[in-house]
Structure 1
Amino acid sequence: MTDWIKTTIESLGYVGIALLMFLENLFPPIPSELIMPLAGYTANLPGAKLNIYGVFFAGLMGSVLGALIWYYPGKFLSEKRLQALADKYGSWLGISNKDIIQAKHWFNKQGKKAVLIGRLVPGVRTLISIPAGISNMHLPSFLFYTTVGSGCWVGLLTYTGYVLGSQYELVDKYLAPVSKFVLGGLILAFAFWILKRKRKSRRR
């Protein structure tokens, strides 16, 4: 996959970066943790045709457009219909109906900030658009939080790849445990919130 990503960036430039990040939102197995560090590294090569700012904005644009693709099915299709489609075709995209349910519950508890935070968490960042659409979150708000969250994620990956140079693959290696730690922390915080709510209900 690395060779394919590299070839796409080298042949299509900024358009290739935007396309890859767009596809990354549709097919989670395509890792942004590899796309953007590689693009950042490419921008730091001697005589590079790309610059780090163009790489960042191309990646951000592709990421936001990809998020919109998941927002509209959530807005116009019922939750049950989406779950049925996930059961039937989700294996092609790497998602299941359980993923949709989990993302929906998290969105309901966290509100609008779930979109911003979710864009920073691998495994959640792709699917968080679906409950936003199901809940009829206003498009301007969705775009704002998605852009801010995606900007932070894309910027981090691009800069680390630019700084690490030929060792850009270390980004994925060291970021994966950190991402799992962050996701675990969010799950614990959510569990604590539920426990706290139950205690308050019993007191009443």
Structure 2
Amino acid sequence: MDLSLASTPAEPMTGLAGWAVGLIDSLGGPGAAIIVGLDNLFPPIPSELVLPLAGFSASRGAFTLLGALFWTTLGSLAGAVIVYGIGALLGRDRTRALVARVPLLRVGDFDRTEAWFARHGGKAVFLGRMVPIFRSLISLPAGVERMPPGRFLLLTTAGSLLWNTAFVVAGYLLGESWSLVDRYASVLQYVVLAAVAIAIGLFVVVRLRQRRPAAR
């Protein structure tokens, strides 16, 4: 990727991007944390947009790159904890009813996330931080099933930090051309999904091989 694009003059930001940059300029790191936290609470706000913006703001001196990573990961964790708490408080049936009322979400999204969590537990929480929709919803079944809080926090922090670093650093390097990150976001997400599919396939193969000697 040609990083010289960072010097290309940018048009004035409007809409969500303009609001996000304005909030970060006003509040600094806490503003970035709030925006990323909202991505967990309101899935229509895409992290593929707000994370590169945090990197872009860091490149302009709003905070350091390490500061951007710290605040965005803190925001991800805070949003995930809130969603976890909602799941733990409401239980499965009322959580499904709540999801049905959220714009742009379907109950089927929650059902698929819950099924994934039931099969893979901790791996689902870690990898779910890097998958669209699942990223915002995976904390719900973790709360419903009362996953141990310490384990949930550790896996959520690790997955969020890995995902956030990729997008924040890209936005930092690209500067005013941060929006180019969006072109490659879907590619990265497909890579994550492919890795998940391969990991699941290997797990199934290993388990089947382990069962054959026992059956004999």
Structure 1 match to 2:171: 161
State the 1:178 CA deviation: 2.6
Give distance in 2, aligned partners of 1:195 and 1:152: 27
Unaligned ranges ≥5, structure 2:
1-15
Give distance in 1, aligned partners of 2:121 and 2:23: 37
Give distance in 2, aligned partners of 1:32 and 1:123: 10
Q: Say yes or no: does 1:60 pair with 2:79.
A: no
The answer on whether the counterparts of 1:74 and 1:133 sit within 8 Å (CA) in structure 2 is yes
Find the residue that maps to 1:137 and give its secondary structure.
coil
Q: Say yes or no: does 1:175 pair with 2:188.
A: no
RMSD across aligned C-alpha pairs, in angstroms? 2.5
Unaligned ranges ≥5, structure 1:
none
Structure 2 match to 1:111: 121
The answer on whether the counterparts of 2:130 and 2:192 sit within 8 Å (CA) in structure 1 is no
The answer on whether the counterparts of 1:28 and 1:126 sit within 8 Å (CA) in structure 2 is yes
Find the residue that maps to 1:162 and give its secondary structure.
helix
Equivalences for 1:28-39 in 2 at 5 Å? Answer: 28-39=43-54
Q: Sequence identity of aligned pairs in percent? A: 38
For residue 19 of structure 1, the aligned residue among 27, 34, 37 is: 34
State the 1:115 CA deviation: 0.6
The answer on whether the counterparts of 1:15 and 1:58 sit within 8 Å (CA) in structure 2 is yes
Give distance in 2, aligned partners of 1:100 and 1:183: 18
The answer on whether the counterparts of 1:82 and 1:97 sit within 8 Å (CA) in structure 2 is no
Give distance in 2, aligned partners of 1:80 and 1:4: 35
The answer on whether the counterparts of 2:52 and 2:170 sit within 8 Å (CA) in structure 1 is yes
1:90 counterpart letter in structure 2: V
Structure 1 match to 2:59: 44
Deviations 1:45-90 (CA, angstroms, capped at 9, x unpaired): 3xx2411111111111111000011101221222122112222x22
The answer on whether the counterparts of 1:83 and 1:96 sit within 8 Å (CA) in structure 2 is no
Give distance in 2, aligned partners of 1:193 and 1:84: 33
Give distance in 1, aligned partners of 2:106 and 2:96: 7
For residue 157 of structure 2, the aligned residue among 147, 151, 172 is: 147
State the 1:191 CA deviation: 8.0
Structure ID, larger Rg: 2
For residue 9 of structure 1, the aligned residue among 24, 28, 39 is: 24
